Structure 1
Amino acid sequence: MEQKRHYEGLTDTEVLASREQHGANVLTPCEKDPLWKQFLEKFEDPLIIILLIAGFLSIAISCWEYWGLHSEDGVAVFFEPVGIFIAILLATSIAFYFELKADKEFSILNQANDEEEVEVIRNGNATTVAKKDIVVGDVVIINTGAEIPADGRLLEAISLYVDESTLNGESVPAYKSVKEEDFDKDASYATNQVLRGTKVMEGHGIFVVEAVGDSTENGKVFEAAQIDDSVKTPLSEQLDGLSELITKLSYVFAGCIIVGRLIVFFHWQPIVWTLSIPTLIFFWLVIKKFEGWKWFVNTFITIGYFLILMACVVVFHIMLLPEESMTGLLAHTLNTMMIAVTLIVVAVPEGLPMAVTLSLAYSMRRMMKTNNLVRKMHACETMGATTVICTDKTGTLTQNQMRVYQTQFYALDKQQLDESLAARLLMEGISVNSTASLDYSEKDKPEVLGSPTEGALLLWLNDHQISYREIRSNVQIVEELPFTTERKYMAVLVKSTLMEGKQILYVKGAPEIVYGLCKQTDCDVTKEDIERQLEEYQEQAMRTLGFAYQIVDGKEDVFKEGRVVADGLIFQGIVAISDPVRDDVPAAVADCMKAGIDVKIVTGDTSRTAKEIGRQIGLWTSSDSDKNIITGPEFAALSDAELDKRVEDLKIISRARPLDKKRLVESLQRCNEVVAVTGDGTNDAPALQAAHVGLSMGDGTSVAKEASDITIIDNSFSSIGKAVMWGRSLYQNIQRFLLFQLTVNVAACFLVLAGAFMGTESPLTVTQMLWVNLIMDTFAAMALASLPPSERVMKDAPRDRNAFIISRSMGWNILGVGGFFFVMLLALLYIFEHADITALKDIIHLQLGSTNGLSPYELTLLFTIFVMTHFFYLFNARAFETGRSALHFKGCRGLLFIVMIILIGQIAMVELPILQKFFNIAKGGLSLEDWIIIMLGSSLVLWVREAWHLIKPKKK
């Protein structure tokens, strides 16, 4: 037998002293590699290594030209190889910076667990503090579903079972008690001890903290927790497959460029075509990833191919061009290799992982401002494909501000609490048969800690100036039966001062269940009167509780096998508790249904209550019938086949039991629906784990939160709608990046390949292609990943979760626009090669002649036109599938900042003398007239799109 005691806990001064002595309740993350080592890892990419080797060889050739051949260009021969290194360093540095930024975003999210509220007693008052603020000596209150915040020794334990599997691997929860006779000597941890990171599966208790942070058992085996991004969603699998396909195609282009440029160098001599054999073998092995061989074998093969290629071209040079200098051959071959590798770097969308990472990090951080704490990365994307939301009622659809609306206690005169025995029995039953508490920190407005329903009863007592604490402190608990959703009631047997030498059993729960346990009713009220009263309350969507008591002599059994077996219970009456619908929920539900998302309510309330809530939020209409609602027992009686036929029509499951929600999710998934589920209790964990996206509530249990993918901090359904909007917008941002990047790839790859076989200088040099890769890949990833969500996406139907990310319209845009850019640039390449262009306006008076090569000025024009046409196309890609103008910039400060960097960088590269030398730009750059013509001509891609946007039919 134990007495509920009043604990004082620590004072504020003692808390500070304890934290100073024992430290904070946080776990020190595992030590990461130093930044310099993380940066050097960026250079482990085989393509970057090849570029670096080629760059060093290029410097060696420049040294030979400068000191051995005394080149007329002087130190200018070093500018291009140095420029290659600068471009490589710039690209890797920016990628490294933004990866660090994304890691920082995730680290902030990972710390969210330390901010979870824990119920403690301090200064003699029950209150809540953040988990990280728990200190040694704190008195902590734990209830079913709670995660233990620190190691400690139990002061009280009522039917307490704790899951310690995270520490000892045992699947069976450990029984915890403060009674020495219950201690298990063979248990992994002491029976009166609770440990950080374990979970309360049943019962409740109070413990005093003995260790925090790294000093806990959990801290001793801790590894830094990371957001789980290992889950392979259909999107991540598609992106992996797409990247692999593009990489393979880029290898084909690279091989063709190597062979093509060397064949043209040797004037198309047939014997030179034999170079295609080793090139074909080498790139076939690269595509096959060297069949999984060891790295040193791969390195040997790569060096072997390079040596064979160099040996062949030297032999061909001796045979076919014996009178020409070998230096030109080596420089050309080396430049060819660098162009080929650089094209692979440009073509492979290495910015795609960055775009996805930045989009996810940006979305996750911004979603926190809309009360969505994303716990698992893949949930952002999957939320956008959701077709069904299964939601509970309390706290999600309703305000979760439970207050007693009306009472019907039959033995009380006019519902007033007086000094009669009936009133005192009722007050004692409410006070002791409860796991809730009130926080009196704010004296004008006590705050409920624990179950809102039970808290409403304590608030009702408080409104009548009755101290539940005083009543609890005068009562001794003999035995207790915690509430479960299976039995739908809770009970406590106490030794009370109201009855000397007697014990009193108090029962509270669902009225129909509690009434069924009773032998009689106070004042002999009939069952019909009670049912009539219940129906009235339930039709108003109120939660009802029934109360009963029995005076026992201590000899008879009252509990057996987890049930009340006492046979003399007296039904005291009913309480109606009101929880109004949230103001924003009807509009949020309407938005989801307009977006093609079905909403289904799963609740433990009666059918009448559930239908009334459904009616208030706009889900239940006059056209709905019995086929749209089902009770828990009826639901359980259906076979899987029967359920699958009916599940699409269901809108409400009332009197639902814990596993009903999980079975509903599995049935919807068999019907190819993408399901999101809300839940706040430990019993919701199976459904949260089974769903495509589990949404736990901010005030839910730790078990529910851990099983979920997203935590809705404010518990509101409207926040769920915002999560869908973010998910859909995220998917579209990734599509926009792919649209832009692949359009650039089509134009660049075919242009360089065509130049190789035309025998011209490469239309784009290595440094220029690296700059294109930087602005069109890395910067574009940043620009398009940071686009804000659009409410317009909520007007679209849910996307097919397994549909290929490159839609038909995207495919036509990539081929059409990329192909147009290629043809336009190829035409300019031909013109520049067959005409002497000294100013861009010379094209108006064009006179084509024989091949006369490309001047530095003409190559500068081609490079600038390539960049600026794609620069303006970035705006088109940004507006893709938005239904808006490409010049709509609201909320796009990040995009505008990045496009300004691209524009200023391009102008500086062309006009600043020091940069001209590094990027093979003509001395003197371009004239103002050239810039105006290029800007106007290149921007046509934007104005044509805007004109089409104005005249094309709008989507309904």
Structure 2
Amino acid sequence: MEQKQHLTGLSDQEVVTSRLKYGENILTPPKKESLWSQFIKKFEDPIIRILLVALLLSFGVSIYQYTTGMEDAGVFLEPAGIFLAVILATMVGFFFELSANKKFDVLNQVNDDTLVKVIRNSSIREIPRKDVVVGDIVILETGEEVPADGILIEAVSLQINESTLTGEPMIGKTVDEADFEKDATYPSNEVMKGTTVVDGHGIMRVIKVGDATEYGKVYEGSQIENKTKTPLNSQLDTLGRFITKASYTIAGLIIIVRMSLYFLHIETLDWIAMGSYLLNTAMIAVTVIVVAVPEGLPMSVTLSLALSMKRMLSTNNLVRKMHACETMGAASVICTDKTGTLTQNQMQVYHADFANLKGQELNDDKLCSLIKEGISVNSTAFLDESNPEKTTALGNPTEGALLLWLKNKGVNYLTLREAAPVIDQLTFSTERKYMATLVDSPSIGKKVLYVKGAPEYVLAHCKTVLTETGELPVEDCKDKIETELLRYQEQAMRTLGFAYQIIENDDIVLFKDGRLSDEVSLTFMGITAISDPVRPDVPDAIHQCLDAGINIKIVTGDTPGTATEIGRQIGLWKPEDTEYNRITGTEFAAMDDQSLLDRIMDLKIISRARPMDKERLVKLLQQKGQVVAVTGDGTNDAPALNAAQVGLSMGDGTTVAKEASAITILDNSFKSITRAVMWGRSLYQNIRRFILFQMTINVVACLIVLIGAFLGTESPLTVTQMLWVNLIMDTFAALALASLPPSPKVMKDKPRKITDFIINKPMAIRIIGTGFAFVILLFGLLQYFKHTDITTLADFSILDFFVNFFNFTDVPHGLSVYELSLFFTIFVMLQFWNMFNAKAFGDTKSAFSGLGHSKQFLSVALVIVIGQAIIVTFGGKMFNVTPIRFDDWIYIICGTSIVLWCGEIYRMIRRLLK
């Protein structure tokens, strides 16, 4: 490249001074969190914290019981079980996330040693990209990456791919102020670090390097730790506080009531007896606290998330952060980019309109030969056909679209290009708006001048227009052509006009001062409308999200017209929408937060957006109480991806975007995002089902302990039995309920509010109602067993059950081991059948519906029954049980199944009333 004399560049001393003042051209690498820190974070779960308190209390009581001889070493099984629950819940989550993170490489490794051309000491030299400093003069050529932010000194047909920052694949750059694009995201005479030159060449003066560049700011924004709590964490926090207050209240009530009863019944104060009674009361209170804590809940949540994490991968959702599985289900707003997410990110010919071309099909006549040859030779683009499944364009995307159109018509552009020698050429430039190539045409046997470019500029050099009735003067066809162009432009399409001239006289001057001369007399052949088409599955996916109550917002660096047209095509932009529903990045940046908060929920499109606009949008939406999901594939999207409750990067997106996201959509499809919402909502429903199941158990267990404390009797359930019910069985139940497949029905619901309590009113009614029903039944059984000698359930009498229900007189004997075994098994089987009701919670369908697709649920149910049989048969002293007769097993299974049949009748009535 010929250099102007005044471009001397920096001297060696100026380079040193600039580096000291402005720093090096490298990005500060992110600080990696240690494995230990990642593991410790797992203990921040609110339920885990409650379990740790319960562990200390339980361990203290166990030590006392063991040292005083009240119990043997088996007493330590309760704290051991709680400890196991804590370790399993934290380790499973830790290792699943660690495994997912290993699927990601270090995602922002930039080759800082790549050589770039600079002018220093009045000469051109190549230096590593990292050595570029503020003030350097850098030479830019096609295919090269811009090493730093700079202002252009020269620009010749310069086209920049800004997709890493704005999402737009081709932006014209110029130093001519008359050609500056007023609403451009970045000034037309500025180029940014990380963008690439797709056409032309230029010279820039560096104004920012390293972290100070726009790319550096975006990269830094992607590393800021996201302190935003996920909806599930917030709701579990609330649940944890509720359980803590409830258990402490009940424990306090036990102490007050028992001590009050003690003082009412004593005649003389015996300090030793009172101390013993007080200690026993305190132990009962601690037992209630331990029983009230849902040991299985952290495990159930972790298992549910882990299973979903694994299964979502089969639907092209690679989940990196476990809670993101569920958070997608709570999303109330999705901020999406346009290029590559809503559109295919490949320019294609939407419509070709060449005169006399029937059906726009190409054959071997003269006109078709001119069209085929003109597109092939009058182009600088190429096609990459190395992947047989997908051909991609190299170079100018618009020219690539034309070559793809030829390929789809069965034409090999390369054969035609190589057969027609180029005599002279004017490459496309933003100044002249067209490209012209003179070739020696083998198809015509003469020299032919081919011109393509902005239709209005090409028409200006035409004398005639090809029509169905022959060649007509331009004046006769201009209005019709302009009407056609306006129709395409209103649909935000790029239009190209095509013309040719057969050169009969070699004396004609075709090019003069870098432009077509006045001697040129072209014939206009037609136009093509080119667009980046919407992905076929996007409109339906957007419709599903809107039906699900999710607000969609397009954030793009493209023009307002193009963005709005895409919004219209996908069904987001409605005829009734106005300017109030869209805004440009410039207008967005100029508005204060309060003004935006008043308008933000009505915005559908933000065009010409800069990277930090998207991040600001996310944070403002969060201030409005919204759960925000963000999609993006460019480096520009990273800060917003990181700031959102859940970031969704695209599979072919930049590595920085993937690093900042929680989920990567492997197939780049918005439909996969919709599936992620369905998975998230179904997962939350499954977690709620498990909470319903376990809290019912906890209510029953607490009330049994509480009643026993008030009546002055010991609990009929031992510590080891409670361990089986509260931990092992609950873990299996978590596995069963977490394995339920997602239901498309959840997409008809509206997003839940982030402030909602995880236990809603129907759940509370079911927990309290079922819990009290179980307590009444179990208490009645205790009373029956106390006052009746029973060797088999075949002797059970309903009349005796009710007669003895309120019989609180002392009995000469306690419960036998067989009676305790029956009681323990009945308690477990009541919960077993209630698990089926929990499966059907939130639906009117039968609990048996879909069981054929829930083999894991059936397997777990079988394991619970077999496990209970094994414990009762072989548990002996450890579980304080003895084997149960076979016929009693039949009575228990059939008798307790009434829990399921009552649920089935209730659901049937609801179906009939619909």
User: Which residues in structure 2 correspond to 1:807-826 (within 5 Å)?
Assistant: 807-826=760-779
SS in 2 for 1:885: coil
SS in 2 for 1:576: strand
* AA matched with 2:905: A
- Quote the residue 1:466 is aligned against: 414
Match of 1:381 among 326, 341, 344: 326
Match of 2:348 among 380, 391, 403: 403
* CA shift digits 1:591-622 (9 cap, x unpaired): 3333233445566367589548735x55567x
- Quote the residue 1:944 is aligned against: 902
What's the CA shift for 1:770? 1.9
Q: Bigger shift: 785-794 or 249-258?
A: 249-258
Q: Is the 8 A contact 1:156 1:205 kept in 2?
A: no
* AA matched with 2:902: V
* CA shift digits 1:829-861 (9 cap, x unpaired): 333334444433344462757312532333333
- Quote the residue 1:851 is aligned against: 810
Q: Is the 8 A contact 1:461 1:468 kept in 2?
A: no
- Quote the residue 2:314 is aligned against: 369
What's the CA shift for 1:950? 0.5
- Quote the residue 1:904 is aligned against: 866
State how far apart, in whole Å, the 2-side matches of 1:423 and 1:441 are.
Answer: 22
* CA shift digits 1:416-454 (9 cap, x unpaired): 56999x8798323xx3xxxxx754434696445799667
- Quote the residue 1:874 is aligned against: 835
What's the CA shift for 1:552? 9.6
* CA shift digits 1:857-898 (9 cap, x unpaired): 333333222222122112212221033222232443333333
Structure 1 position 865 matched with structure 2 position 829: no
- Quote the residue 2:846 is aligned against: 885
SS in 1 for 2:906: helix
SS in 2 for 1:952: helix
SS in 1 for 2:530: strand
Q: How does the TM-score come out when normalised to structure 1? A: 0.64
State how far apart, in whole Å, the 1-side matches of 2:290 and 2:224 are.
Answer: 29
Match of 1:426 among 375, 378, 381: 378
Structure 1 position 744 matched with structure 2 position 697: yes
- Quote the residue 1:108 is aligned against: 99
Match of 2:401 among 448, 451, 456: 456
Match of 1:532 among 470, 480, 483: 483
State how far apart, in whole Å, the 1-side matches of 2:754 and 2:133 are.
Answer: 35
State how far apart, in whole Å, the 1-side matches of 2:99 and 2:135 are.
Answer: 32
* AA matched with 1:349: P
SS in 2 for 1:911: helix
* AA matched with 1:940: I
* CA shift digits 1:698-744 (9 cap, x unpaired): 22333444454433222222212112111211222222222222222
- Stretches of structure 2 that go unaligned for 5 or more consecutive residues are 4-29, 120-127, 149-163, 166-191, 199-221, 356-365, 440-450, 465-473, 500-509, 516-521
- Quote the residue 1:920 is aligned against: 880
What's the CA shift for 1:793? 0.7
* AA matched with 1:942: L
* AA matched with 1:112: K
- Quote the residue 2:195 is aligned against: 203
- Quote the residue 1:73 is aligned against: none
Q: Is the 8 A contact 1:407 1:415 kept in 2?
A: no
What's the CA shift for 1:113? 2.5
- Quote the residue 1:795 is aligned against: 748
State how far apart, in whole Å, the 2-side matches of 1:493 and 1:386 are.
Answer: 47
* AA matched with 1:897: S
Structure 1 residues 614 and 756, CA gap change in structure 2 (3 angstroms):
same
* AA matched with 2:691: L
State how far apart, in whole Å, the 1-side matches of 2:135 and 2:313 are.
Answer: 34
State how far apart, in whole Å, the 2-side matches of 1:94 and 1:933 are.
Answer: 33
State how far apart, in whole Å, the 2-side matches of 1:226 and 1:51 are.
Answer: 42
* CA shift digits 1:112-153 (9 cap, x unpaired): 323xxxxxxxxxxxxxxxx89xxxxxxxxxxxxxx4455643
Q: Is the 8 A contact 1:760 1:854 kept in 2?
A: no
Structure 1 position 48 matched with structure 2 position 39: no
Q: Is the 8 A contact 1:339 1:765 kept in 2?
A: no
* AA matched with 2:826: I
* AA matched with 2:386: S
Q: Is the 8 A contact 1:358 1:786 kept in 2?
A: no
User: Which residues in structure 2 correspond to 1:72-111 (within 5 Å)?
Assistant: 81-86=72-77, 88-89=79-80, 92-93=83-84, 96-97=87-88, 99-111=90-102
Match of 1:695 among 640, 645, 648: 648
State how far apart, in whole Å, the 1-side matches of 2:780 and 2:134 are.
Answer: 74
* CA shift digits 1:546-584 (9 cap, x unpaired): 899x98989x9xxxxxxxxxxxxx999965335554443
Structure 1 residues 542 and 714, CA gap change in structure 2 (3 angstroms):
farther
Structure 1 position 240 matched with structure 2 position 247: no
Structure 1 position 930 matched with structure 2 position 864: no
Structure 1 residues 897 and 37, CA gap change in structure 2 (3 angstroms):
farther
State how far apart, in whole Å, the 2-side matches of 1:726 and 1:534 are.
Answer: 45
What's the CA shift for 1:917? 0.6
* CA shift digits 1:483-507 (9 cap, x unpaired): xxxxxx799999x999xxxxxxxx9
What's the CA shift for 1:902? 2.2
User: Which residues in structure 2 correspond to 1:659-678 (within 5 Å)?
Assistant: 674-678=627-631
Structure 1 position 614 matched with structure 2 position 572: no
What's the CA shift for 1:758? 0.8
- Quote the residue 2:20 is aligned against: none
State how far apart, in whole Å, the 2-side matches of 1:861 and 1:818 are.
Answer: 19
- Stretches of structure 1 that go unaligned for 5 or more consecutive residues are 4-26, 66-79, 115-130, 133-146, 159-163, 185-197, 207-224, 273-312, 321-328, 432-436, 482-488, 499-506, 557-569
* CA shift digits 1:310-353 (9 cap, x unpaired): xxx9x524x99xxxxxxxx7xx9887766544432321124333
Structure 1 residues 111 and 155, CA gap change in structure 2 (3 angstroms):
farther
What's the CA shift for 1:752? 0.5
What's the CA shift for 1:780? 3.2
State how far apart, in whole Å, the 1-side matches of 2:834 and 2:656 are.
Answer: 48
* AA matched with 2:304: S
Structure 1 position 627 matched with structure 2 position 578: yes
What's the CA shift for 1:518? 10
SS in 1 for 2:318: strand
Q: Is the 8 A contact 1:385 1:674 kept in 2?
A: yes
State how far apart, in whole Å, the 1-side matches of 2:749 and 2:907 are.
Answer: 19
State how far apart, in whole Å, the 2-side matches of 1:51 and 1:173 are.
Answer: 69
State how far apart, in whole Å, the 2-side matches of 1:625 and 1:802 are.
Answer: 32
SS in 1 for 2:578: helix
- Quote the residue 2:151 is aligned against: none
State how far apart, in whole Å, the 1-side matches of 2:328 and 2:296 are.
Answer: 23
Structure 1 residues 910 and 454, CA gap change in structure 2 (3 angstroms):
farther
Q: When the two structures are aligned, how many residues end up with a matched partner?
A: 753
Structure 1 residues 942 and 799, CA gap change in structure 2 (3 angstroms):
same
Match of 1:269 among 259, 266, 269: 266
* AA matched with 1:876: N
Match of 1:316 among 272, 289, 314: 272
Q: CA-atom RMSD, angstroms?
A: 6.0
* AA matched with 1:854: G
Q: How does the TM-score come out when normalised to structure 2? A: 0.66
SS in 2 for 1:764: coil
State how far apart, in whole Å, the 2-side matches of 1:704 and 1:253 are.
Answer: 50
User: Which residues in structure 2 correspond to 1:121-136 (within 5 Å)?
Assistant: none
Match of 2:294 among 319, 331, 349: 349
* AA matched with 1:232: K
State how far apart, in whole Å, the 2-side matches of 1:175 and 1:787 are.
Answer: 62
- Quote the residue 2:248 is aligned against: 251
State how far apart, in whole Å, the 1-side matches of 2:484 and 2:824 are.
Answer: 82
Q: Is the 8 A contact 1:837 1:843 kept in 2?
A: no
- Quote the residue 1:587 is aligned against: 540
State how far apart, in whole Å, the 1-side matches of 2:135 and 2:98 are.
Answer: 31
